[in-house]
A and B are shown apart, each in its own frame.
Chain A
Amino acid sequence: MATLAAVEEQRKTEETALITGSEAIAVACKLADVDVITAYPIRPYDTVMQYVCKLVSNGEMDCEYIVAEGEHSQFEIVKHASAAGARVFCGSSGVGWMYAMEALTVTPALRIPMIAMVGNRALDDPGAFGVEHNDALTVRDLGWQLVWVDNAQEALDTALIAYRVAEDRRIFLPCAISCDGAFLTHSQALVKIPSQEKVNEFLPPYDRGDLLLHPDNPITVAPQGNEDWVMEIRRQNYAAMERAHGVIVEAYADFERIFGRSYGNPFFEEYMTDDADIVLMGMGTLSISVKVAIRQMRKEGKKVGFVRMRWFRPFAAEELAKSLQRFEAIGVIDRDYSFGSPYLGGVLAGEVRHALYPGAGKKPPVLDFICGLGGREVTVPDVQKMADSVYHAADGKAQPLTQWIGLRE
């Protein structure tokens, strides 16, 4: 516990606010002095646009704020604004994100450093507001950087880091920040708001350089190209994503130096893994129940750890494989589905198995748990059930590779 005096001292340089994850992203937009923001309402993303709107109306933020007639236009407008040199912000949820898909596809192809917030929401049908990760995951192959956060502070900090990484000339790729609907987007928490001076020190202005669409720099963007050009263009995006890993590491190091807040390994968070026999893995806010469950299980002598993936693209496969090889077995919690995929598992489990496969080291068994779909709560007993199954796998007892947890059966 910080002393009252220390808290007073802290307040002199850093304000604290009680805000939702969505509001934290909006505050990051203000601090990043974003030039153009487009909006179209869909729950739970709409909380961001409401808060940005409030900041603009109150005169606290100066930006072009455009409400489009649908998500496709919403993303097209910021794509063009970014090509013309504007720092941009955008976002959506669920099927709104899907409606923007054509614009989402061309954005990384044109090397546009758009920052988007995905308020993760189940895809229709049925029309449900709750969290599932399938919406953001639909762009995983296209050149979007994808990051998942699990609290409002991390949402704010990651948004600033995302601008820094995306707008780096070595990268110029968009980045989507995934925030679990309800658990993060609609829940207020105490968030430290960094000072403008520190943000300015951390985040240089967006410089599009020779790619700037401007009358003084006459260029044609997105001309027709045929099979003589496409592979080379894709290879350039491959190279940018390959470089993103190093630029993310740089950005987190600078973030720690300037703001004094450290995230350790930028790509994934490890919780109680030092002495763990088995680990669970997952993305987003389910981390809270998992951590609580782990603390309970540890009282019973079960050495369970947790690995929370932050960056899904780029995927830090080598570091992750190296870390996971320390454990007897792994259980991946997928808040998503990929019907008909290998072993009928979810997306994250498939990626984890893929990351483990090429290495020379140990290949612990990987179980997959489909859980928490449509915003269903991931409960502490759910987590304990999963950990038990992973323990059985570690002991060599055959377990189903994919299990649905928290399902009425």
Chain B
Amino acid sequence: MGRLFAIEIIYRGIFQKTLATRLSRSIVLAAHQEGKMGISFGRYGDSPERNGIPAKNFAIVATDEQTLQEGMAKYEPKEVDVTIAVDDTLCKGVESWAWYGLQPVNRLLKPGGTLIVASREGPEAIIAMAHRKETPYNLAIVKGTVSFSGLWVYKDDHTDVRILGAIAKVLPDLFSLKSVQKVIMDQWQDPVKAESAARAYERISTTTVRTDQGNPEVPYKFDFPKWHEMGEGIAIPSIPAGRNMEDPVSHVHGGFQPDRNPTFKKFSTRTMRPVVNFDTCIKCTLCWLHCPDSCFDVTPEGLYDANMQACCGCGVCEAVCPVKECVTMVNETEFGDNASQWEAWRNDKEGYQAWLAKKIESHPQRSHGFRYRGQYEEQVPEMLEIARKG
């Protein structure tokens, strides 16, 4: 039997679909330059994709046809040589809509495998986000602004080729930089892109992540019930309606907090989250009314607290809020927990305002989506510049 390679690409649904497809296709094509066989596919259960929901593409490559079949005989790989997270906030965990609870980004990595992350952050920040793993692995960061596009409009900021260059470095047995550049020229006839791949190849460096590093939280686990242990008629208990909220200071009860799915939290579906200035809120209800995920809890005094169990980070609340900087979307990398902002504000209003100001100030870029015509023309040169500087 020959050698089998598996690479997974974890991406944000819709916003990075084209990027992920380009990556998994190019991996197979580059390996094929060196006589290897391969397949490229998206995880079937991720379709239909939702905006920003973690999704996966896979590239399976082998040195010969029979070995490839060994890889294809599995629905999806059980372990991979390289995991690519094309958005750094995915390192907090991966939970597609067809998935079961939050799963570590590095779950499928073989011992000694490499996690490649697109990010402006340093290794410390990324390592802190990712769950601990029982075996050491390597981390490689492709520095740059995280690339988000629309489904139909691709932002060609070279993230694709830079990651391909990085793969050639961390897994040289799969393909060489030369093969990557050949495939880039075959597909896109762009020598500048080929040069970007070479620059990433030269610059990429890896850090070993030890078993005592990372988020110590135990990932969600459950056992599948046997057929006769399951309820009949494809019926499941509904989520109860909800309850009053309790003020942490006055202990007054009031408002309304809907009950939410006990298993499927949207912790990792966001690339940004709203921060709310409760002192300037005019209680107009618009954020609560427009939120497509009913994420706003109504507090006893009639304020609206974005509950991070339910927030997908779409930004509709910010768009409809009539008060300047009352609701502001901030990059998800800025947050280490999912705690209630309203409770923090109730406990210490001054401290909260200081925290809020810092968060708003420190949000360097908005993550997803195509917002206005001419946006990519503005962003791409900026992103290429960051990429050039590393």
Contacts and interface: CB of A to CB of B under 8 A. Distances in A.
Interface in B228-255: 228, 230-240
Contact of B234 (A221, A226, A228): A221
A226 B98 contact: yes
Indicate the member of B45, B231, B235 with the most A CB atoms within 10 Å. Answer: B235
Interface string A219-245: 111111111110111011001100000
Contact of B224 (A228, A233, A235, A236): A228
Contacts of A137: none
A172 B233 contact: yes
A302 B338 CA distance: 85
A355 interface: no
B240 A211 contact: no
A223 B237 contact: no
B226 to A, nearest CB: 7
B232 A219 contact: no
A232 B224 CA distance: 10
B230 A218 contact: no
A172 B100 CA distance: 30
A218 B227 CA distance: 22
Contacts of A226: 45, 98
A164 interface: no
The interface size bin for chain A is: 20 to 34
B235 A218 contact: no
B235 A232 contact: no
Interface string A101-139: 000000001110000000000000000000000000000
Contacts of A220: 235-238
A239 B227 CA distance: 10
A354 B290 CA distance: 59
Contact of A221 (B100, B235, B239): B235
A210 interface: yes
A56 B340 CA distance: 58
Contact of B230 (A110, A221, A227, A233): A233
A110 B233 contact: yes
Given A226-B45, A226-B98, A228-B224, A111 B232 contact: yes
Nearest to A106: B234
A236 B235 contact: no
Given A226-B45, A226-B98, A221 B224 contact: no
B232 A232 contact: no
A111 B230 contact: no
A233 B234 contact: yes
B234 A222 contact: yes
Contact of A236 (B75, B227, B236): B227
A238 to B, nearest CB: 9
A401 B45 CA distance: 46
Contacts of B45: 226-227
A164 B239 CA distance: 33
A210 B236 contact: no
A310 B233 CA distance: 27
Given A218-B238, A219-B237, A219-B238, A231 B232 contact: no
Contacts, number: 58
A236 B232 CA distance: 7
Interface in B195-230: 224-228, 230
Interface residues of B, number: 20
B230 A109 contact: no
The main secondary structure of chain B at its interface with chain A is loop
Indicate the member of B75, B228, B240 with the most A CB atoms within 10 Å. Answer: B228
Contacts of A236: 227-228, 230, 232
Contact of A172 (B227, B232, B238): B232
A233 B231 CA distance: 9
Contacts of A221: 233-235
Contact of A111 (B75, B100, B233): B233
B46 to A, nearest CB: 10
Contacts of A232: 225-227, 230
Nearest to A109: B234
Contacts of B236: 219-220, 223
Contact of B227 (A110, A223, A225, A235): A235
Contacts of B224: 228
B234 A225 contact: yes
Given A226-B45, A231-B227, A218 B234 contact: no
A216 to B, nearest CB: 11
Contacts of B233: 110-111, 172, 211, 221
Contacts of A219: 235-238
Contacts of B230: 229, 232-233, 236
A229 B236 CA distance: 12
Contacts of A228: 100, 224
Nearest to B75: A227
B131 to A, nearest CB: 22
A239 B100 CA distance: 27
Interface string A352-363: 000000000000
A220 B240 CA distance: 11
B234 A210 contact: no
B97 to A, nearest CB: 8
Contacts of B237: 218-220
Interface in A257-280: none
A235 B226 CA distance: 10
Contacts of B228: 236, 239
A328 B234 CA distance: 47
A223 B235 CA distance: 7
A220 to B, nearest CB: 5
Nearest to A238: B227
A36 to B, nearest CB: 18
List 6 tightest A-B contacts by C-beta distance, closest first.
A218-B238, A232-B227, A111-B233, A235-B227, A211-B233, A219-B235
Given A218-B240, A219-B235, A221-B234, 5 more contacts: A111-B232, A172-B233, A228-B224, A232-B227, A240-B232
25 contacts: A109-B234, A110-B235, A111-B233, A111-B234, A172-B233, A210-B231, A210-B235, A218-B238, A218-B240, A219-B237, A220-B235, A220-B236, A220-B237, A221-B233, A226-B98, A227-B45, A228-B224, A232-B225, A232-B227, A233-B227, A233-B230, A235-B227, A236-B227, A239-B227, A240-B232
